[in-house]
Chain A
Amino acid sequence: MKICITSTGTNLEATLDSRFGRCQFFIIVETETLDFEVIPNANLEASGGAGVQSGQLMVSKQVKAILTGNIGPNAEQVLSAAGIKIFTGVTGILKDIIENFKQGQYKSASSPSVGSKFGMTT
């Protein structure tokens, strides 16, 4: 299954970035093979619409699930429209997170966990 984890670093030893729209890196992982792609977040400094653009990127990359800390209202709308599952409140090292995910330890969220512009201040 193709999933995306928001990350503070560029490999699976890195820690999860708790922001979605304004995370530092998106790491797109194939959970079976652990093959991964690193995408630096071009929307990190956007003055507005970072959530929309980051959501759009996930749609283009055809990921099936997002694992992150928090997600704002705009990003949530985009991901939901595309049927991408959202898991918020996730913390820790990426490779552990993938393992936990495969064991079904996370619960999918159906609403945004933070308001607009939250990631600009954290």
Chain B
Amino acid sequence: MIISVASGKGGTGKTTIAVNLALSLDNVQLLDCDVEEPNAAIFIKPLITEEKKAFVLVPLVDESKCTYCGKCREVCAYNAIAVCPKTYDFKGSILIFPNLCHGCGACQMLCPTGAITEIKREIGTIQLGEKEGLQFVQGCLTLGEAMSPPLIRQVKQHIDAAKTVIIDAPPGTSCPVITAVKGSDFCILVTEPTPFGLNDLILAVEVLRELRIPFGVVINRADIGNASVDDYCKTEQIEILMKIPFDPKIAKLYSHGIPMVTELSRYDDQFKQLFLKIKGLI
């Protein structure tokens, strides 16, 4: 079973939920797919046993074979290729923008003269590790790199279907989030009861409905803000799976990199309950 943890708004507690849920269960694999700033490892403290480089394939043009026909540019969905055609006083020119390339391979496949080959471009690393039986995988995008979906896909290739898989997704509602949550059996949307939390929750709900992934809501810092998230969930018939209070004890532990379930046993029970609730919903 694959459970992803996502949220429209950043800083609501995705990693907190993902980590604590993972630590409350047996036979778990935790994937940190927030590759732009992976931080689950701060709380899990896994022993990293393997590290590998992650690449995307980008086109390389042999200009001696290129006729500057522009087919590659036409098929590039990411505007990563520009072609200046030949004129009577200009020999023609082709430009590749590797930072815009998603590595889909269309240009190489459709080049009529076979002028395009693909070369590897490093975009980050993948680390595999373990902590007391918990399997851990994280992606780490190279600083300044914009292309996170290919790395997220490569992290997800390590999914072990025999385990309970928990995916810590990046924040927001764009491509990286969709890449991370796609294929999940269930998605936990973490939010906070504030106008910002509600606004971004609504956007995330729209995404999950479009993707047809079952989901429920966890309200973090549930005793701040107002009742608008509760009201919204009621109107939309979205299950509120769990509420976590704005508790200085949790915050203090967090600031030391200690997950709440390791120190406060009542939360360990609550996260086990959360898992059972999810199981009942799918």
Contact = CB atoms under 8 A, between A and B. Distances in A.
A80 to B, nearest CB: 10
B100 A56 contact: no
Name the prevailing secondary structure of the A interface residues.
Answer: helix
Give the contact-size bracket for chain B: 10 to 19
A121 to B, nearest CB: 16
Interface in A29-68: 43, 46, 48-50, 52-53, 55-56, 59, 62
B78 A81 contact: no
By CB atoms of chain A within 10 A, which of B79, B81, B85, B95 has the most? B79
Interface residues of A, number: 17
Contacts of B81: 52
A52 B97 contact: yes
Contact of B73 (A48, A56, A77): A56
Contacts of B79: 43, 46, 48-50, 52-53
22 contacts: A48-B79, A49-B78, A49-B79, A49-B80, A49-B97, A52-B79, A52-B80, A52-B81, A52-B97, A52-B100, A56-B73, A59-B82, A59-B83, A59-B84, A59-B85, A62-B87, A77-B95, A78-B82, A81-B84, A81-B93, A81-B95, A82-B84
Interface of B: 73, 78-85, 87, 90, 93, 95, 97, 100, 146
Interface of A: 43, 46, 48-50, 52-53, 55-56, 59, 62, 74, 77-78, 81-83
